[in-house]
Amino acid sequence: MTSPVPGFHWRIWAAEATGTALMMLAIVAAASLALGRGSPVAEALPDRGAGFFVLGAIVAPCVALIAVSPLGRLSGAHINPAVTMGFWSLGRVSRHDLVGYVGAQLLGDWQARTRPGCYCLAPSSNRSAAPSRTPTCRSPPPSPSRPA
């Protein structure tokens, strides 16, 4: 087993952040499609169990494609802090890289969650309804007005 190489691995961490963001976007888009209120796919399915099956059928290949992509090959495709912690506990990731990887993963997650317009594929039928755990469309935040 080779020991971890210390140093700042900016390219690797940037690839990890991008891979994590792509994974999160795939999960949110698939959840909106398979489980979201107003989604034609969700309405065509017999029950929520079938929606979760469709969700897994969409997300699993997306994650696999991210792992074998050039981004995944460069970073090692951890794209999950639990995986990085597992590699660290086995001695395959240095403490320094542990911080870099987890920071990159959190940044990638934040990037994906703050993208306006990337939250759904189907319009919500009732935006004023009480909050629920079902994924729904979110309106993009208003653009900041600039004084003239």
How far apart are alpha carbons 132 and 45 in whole angstroms? 19
For residues 38 and 6, the model is more confident at: 38
Instruction: Determine the 3-state secondary structure of 87 from DSSP.
Output: helix
Is residue 67 over pLDDT 70? yes
Instruction: Determine the 3-state secondary structure of 131 from DSSP.
Output: coil
Maximum CA extent, the chain: 62
pLDDT at 89: 94
Domain boundaries, the chain: 10-113
pLDDT at 73: 92
Is residue 139 over pLDDT 80? no
Single-letter amino acid code for the residue at 40: P
Of the listed ranges 37-41, 111-115, 124-128, 142-146, the one predicted with least confidence = 124-128
How far apart are alpha carbons 21 and 78 in whole angstroms? 12
Is residue 133 over pLDDT 60? no
pLDDT at 124: 47
CA-to-CA separations, 26 to 42, 92, 134, in angstroms, rounded = 16, 28, 16
CATH of the domain spanning 10-113, picked from 2.60.40.10, 2.40.420.20, 3.30.70.20, 1.20.1080.10: 1.20.1080.10
- Work out the pLDDT band at 1, boundaries 50, 70, 90: very low
Residue with tokens 């699993």: 60
State mean pLDDT over 130-146.
Answer: 52
- pLDDT tens, residue by residue, 73-127: 998 888 889 999 999 999 998 888 899 999 999 999 988 888 765 554 444 444 4
For residues 40 and 120, the model is more confident at: 40
For residues 55 and 145, the model is more confident at: 55
